[in-house]
Amino acid sequence: MIAQQIFEECAQQCGLIALKGNTMAEFKAIAPYQKCKEGDLAFVPDKKALQQVLEQGVSAVVIPKELQQEAEKAAESTAILVSANLGYSHALMKQRYGDHDYSRSGWGRIHPSAIVHESVHIPESTSLGPNVVIEQGAKIGENCSIMAGVVIEHDAVIGNGVRIHPGTIIGWECVIGDNCLILSNTVIGSEGFGYAQDQYFNHHRIPQTGNVVIGNKVTIGANNTIDRGTYGPTTIGNGCIFDNMCHVAHNVSMGENCIIISGFLGGGSSTIGNRVVASGGTMIKDHVNICDDTYLMHRAGVEKDITQAGMYAGGPVLPMKEYVISNAIYRRLGELRQQVRELAKNMTNNLGV
């Protein structure tokens, strides 16, 4: 491709604000700046990286606007694409020009082993891999890639542009929005953990007849489980991104654009606001409410409502400032214990006991 063509096609959508240097430079691939060469385009974060890629003879660079003057002085044969937000440009441009091509599976549009109920319409733009099962009444959107071994149960709804990786199960009546990415061996709409006990402590299942509703542009990592609600839905808002190995229990309501990292455990009927960030190992008790713009750090354990935005850490969670002080004291417990013992000993000696 030619730099001028890239700029004309996607400048506005990808956050590019200027094209400088050799506007007719050609390149064939997007490469990491550490290993780029002639014929590559690289995203360059800082002055040191800029010097490195120019020495390597890279054909085109995308740089933050702070580097524009320096890049123009140093680069003669290189195309310089200036970005207002380098990370954003990287994401959108790689999605457009360097994403995985799902058509390379080699199976054609619908593999002969796929089992699709006669009531289900598969659009011409959607592909099904080996051993896919789609049950009665399911609705499948345009431009979807449904890969090997996926099961979509009856009356589930799959939006447009959805990528479902091998071994995933979408439970009955669950709803997946547009442009979602669901990675391997995830179960959406698994049975919620609802039981009652009698006087002998025997367990009696409460049927979970709600569903799961996932918004648009959501990523669900590998080996995630999202339980259906007891009556109403478990909901995941638009733009949320989940790492691998996370669990969301029944009747959870999660807002938009949350970041959920590996090992997350969300207790049933909890409410999580918008733009909540949960770092690895975060655990949220059932029936807890967490407000917008909350950051949960250091294996946070949330046992009661959080009503003020900010950063919290530890278990039970404390505001970050208190957590840091508490941690500092904890590290000195051995030393403090010894000091207390010595003080007690001195007091005893002074009293002649």
| pLDDT tens, residue by residue, 152-202 | 999 999 999 999 999 999 999 999 999 999 999 999 999 999 999 999 999
Q: Using pLDDT thresholds of 50, 70 and 90, give the confidence band for residue 353.
A: low
Task: Give one word for 239, left, alpha or beta, with left for phi > 0 and alpha for psi -120 to 50.
Answer: left
In 3D space, the residue among 95, 72, 92 whose CA is nearest the CA of residue 82 turns out to be 72
Q: In total, how many domains does the chain have?
A: 2
When the pLDDT of each residue in the chain is averaged and rounded to a whole number, the result is: 94
| Bridge-based pairing state of the strands 16-21 and 79-83 | antiparallel
Highest-scoring range by mean pLDDT, 75-89, 163-177, 337-351: 163-177
For residue 24, what is the domain's CATH number? 3.40.1390.10
pLDDT one-digit tens code per residue, 86-100: 999 999 999 999 999
Q: Which token pair is 317?
A: 């969670």
Annotation marks residue 250 as catalytic: yes
End position of a domain, from candidates 51, 71, 97 = 97
Q: Please indicate, yes or no, whether residues 207 and 272 belong to a single structural domain of this protein.
A: yes
Give a yes or no: residue 138 inside a domain: yes
pLDDT one-digit tens code per residue, 45-63: 999 999 999 999 999 999 9
Q: Using pLDDT thresholds of 50, 70 and 90, give the confidence band for residue 24.
A: very high
Q: What is the pLDDT of residue 77?
A: 87
Q: Please indicate, yes or no, whether residues 228 and 289 belong to a single structural domain of this protein.
A: yes
In 3D space, the residue among 267, 251, 172, 140 whose CA is nearest the CA of residue 206 turns out to be 251
Give a yes or no: residue 74 inside a domain: yes
Q: Please indicate, yes or no, whether residues 246 and 136 belong to a single structural domain of this protein.
A: yes
Q: Please indicate, yes or no, whether residues 119 and 194 belong to a single structural domain of this protein.
A: yes
Instruction: Please give the Cα distance from 248 to 346 (Å, whole number).
Output: 55
Q: Using pLDDT thresholds of 50, 70 and 90, give the confidence band for residue 14.
A: very high
Give a yes or no: residue 52 inside a domain: yes
Of the residues 121, 250, 287, 298, only one is catalytic, namely 250
Instruction: Please give the Cα distance from 236 to 219 (Å, whole number).
Output: 10
Q: Please indicate, yes or no, whether residues 141 and 86 belong to a single structural domain of this protein.
A: no
Give a yes or no: residue 128 inside a domain: yes
pLDDT one-digit tens code per residue, 214-256: 999 999 999 999 999 999 999 999 999 999 999 999 999 999 9
What percentage of the chain reaches a pLDDT higher than 70? 99
Give a yes or no: residue 292 inside a domain: yes
Write down the pTM of the prediction.
Answer: 0.89
Average pLDDT over residues 31-58: 93
Q: Please indicate, yes or no, whether residues 141 and 223 belong to a single structural domain of this protein.
A: yes
Q: Does residue 352 register a pLDDT over 70?
A: no
Q: Please indicate, yes or no, whether residues 167 and 238 belong to a single structural domain of this protein.
A: yes
In 3D space, the residue among 207, 220, 219 whose CA is nearest the CA of residue 91 turns out to be 219
Q: Please indicate, yes or no, whether residues 207 and 72 belong to a single structural domain of this protein.
A: no
Q: Please indicate, yes or no, whether residues 44 and 190 belong to a single structural domain of this protein.
A: no
Q: Which token pair is 131?
A: 């051993």
Q: Please indicate, yes or no, whether residues 297 and 207 belong to a single structural domain of this protein.
A: yes
Q: Please indicate, yes or no, whether residues 60 and 124 belong to a single structural domain of this protein.
A: no
Give a yes or no: residue 85 inside a domain: yes
Cβ–Cβ under 8 Å, residues 180 and 198? no
Is the alpha carbon torsion for 249, 253, 257, 259 positive or negative?
negative
Give a yes or no: residue 103 inside a domain: no
Give a yes or no: residue 184 inside a domain: yes
Whose structure tokens read 């002080």?
325
Q: Which of 43-57, 78-92, 322-336 has the lowest mean pLDDT?
A: 322-336
Cβ–Cβ under 8 Å, residues 95 and 40? no
Instruction: Please give the Cα distance from 210 to 66 (Å, whole number).
Output: 51
Q: Using pLDDT thresholds of 50, 70 and 90, give the confidence band for residue 341.
A: confident
Q: Please indicate, yes or no, whether residues 189 and 286 belong to a single structural domain of this protein.
A: yes
Domain of residue 194, residue span: 113-325
Q: Which of 41-50, 116-125, 127-136, 313-322 has the lowest mean pLDDT?
A: 313-322
End position of a domain, from candidates 48, 68, 97 = 97
As a three-state string, the secondary structure of the chain is CEHHHHHHHHCCCCCEEEEEECCCCECCEECCCCCCCCCEEEECCCHHHHHHHHHCCCCEEEEEHHHHHHHHHHCCCCEEEEECCHHHHHHHHHHHHCCCCHHHHCCCCECCCCEECCCCCCCCCCEECCCCEECCCCEECCCCEECCCCEECCCCEECCCCEECCCCEECCCCEECCCCEECCCCEEEECCCCEEECCCCCEEECCCCCCEEECCCCEECCCCEEECCCCCCEEECCCCEECCCCEECCCCEECCCCEECCCCEECCCCEECCCCEECCCCEECCCCEECCCEEEECCCEECCCECCCEEEECCCCEEHHHHHHHHHHHHCHHHHHHHHHHHHHHHHHHHCC
For residue 263, what is the domain's CATH number? 2.160.10.10
Q: Using pLDDT thresholds of 50, 70 and 90, give the confidence band for residue 351.
A: confident
